[in-house]
């Protein structure tokens, strides 16, 4: 894993539905405040059962979300550019519900820490509302799996 120093160009960034209602200056400030992390295929980003202190937005590449049940790997989702993950443990305080690994080389993720998310949710409540909507959907998928 490696921290990329240059901010991604805004024109090559995928559309991020979570931030679609965010004013442009707040969006840019977020990218300036948060580290961009780069992973190679197969590298673990989140470990199921661990404590969560950040969530991630996919700026480039993709990730695989899976659960380990009795040593069996259960695939839950493949997430691509513009999607996010790792929000559940932040919102609930519970351990990570699944593991996540990079699904492509040069997968680039914006890492948003718990305090940055908290302040973003205060200044832009629509982000917190959108996050919760996704969480409900994902929890529903997982009880059916």
Q: List the beta bridge partners of residue 111.
A: 56
If one asks whether residue 128 binds ligand CMP (CB under 6 A), the answer comes out as no
Contact flag: residue 39 with ligand CMP (CB under 6 A)? no
Q: Which residues of 82-112 are buried (b: 16+ CB within 10 A; e: fewer)?
A: bbbbbbbbbbeeeebbbbbbbbeeebbbbbb
**Which of these segments, 26-34, 94-102, 110-118, 120-128, binds ligand CMP (CB under 6 A)?**
94-102
Instruction: Assess contact for 108 and 64: CB atoms under 8 A.
Output: no
Q: What's the sign of the alpha-carbon dihedral 79, 82, 87, 88?
A: negative
Q: Does 103 bind ligand CMP (CB under 6 A)?
A: no
Among 22, 58, 89, 127, binds ligand CMP (CB under 6 A): 89
Choosing from 58, 85, 103, 110, the residue that interacts with ligand CMP (CB under 6 A) is: 85
CA distance 120 to 126: 10
Minimum distance between the CB of residue 10 and ligand CMP, rounded to whole angstroms?
24
* 58 is a contact residue toward ligand CMP (CB under 6 A): no
Binding site for ligand CMP (CB under 6 A): 46, 52, 65, 76-77, 85-89, 96-98, 100, 138, 141-142
């Amino acid at each position: 894993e490696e921290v990329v120093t240059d901010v991604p160009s805004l024109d090559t960034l995928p559309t991020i539905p979570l931030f679609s209602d965010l004013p442009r200056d707040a969006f840019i400030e977020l990218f300036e405040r948060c580290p961009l992390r780069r992973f190679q295929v197969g590298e673990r980003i989140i470990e199921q059962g661990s404590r969560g202190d950040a969530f991630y937005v996919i700026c480039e590449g993709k990730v695989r979300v899976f659960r380990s049940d009795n040593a069996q790997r259960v695939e839950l989702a493949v997430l691509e550019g513009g999607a996010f993950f790792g929000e559940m443990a932040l919102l609930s305080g519970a351990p990570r519900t699944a593991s996540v690994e990079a699904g492509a080389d040069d997968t680039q993720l914006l890492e948003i820490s718990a305090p940055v998310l908290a302040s973003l949710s205060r200044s832009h409540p629509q982000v917190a509302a959108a996050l919760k909507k996704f969480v409900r959907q994902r929890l529903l998928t997982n009880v059916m799996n």
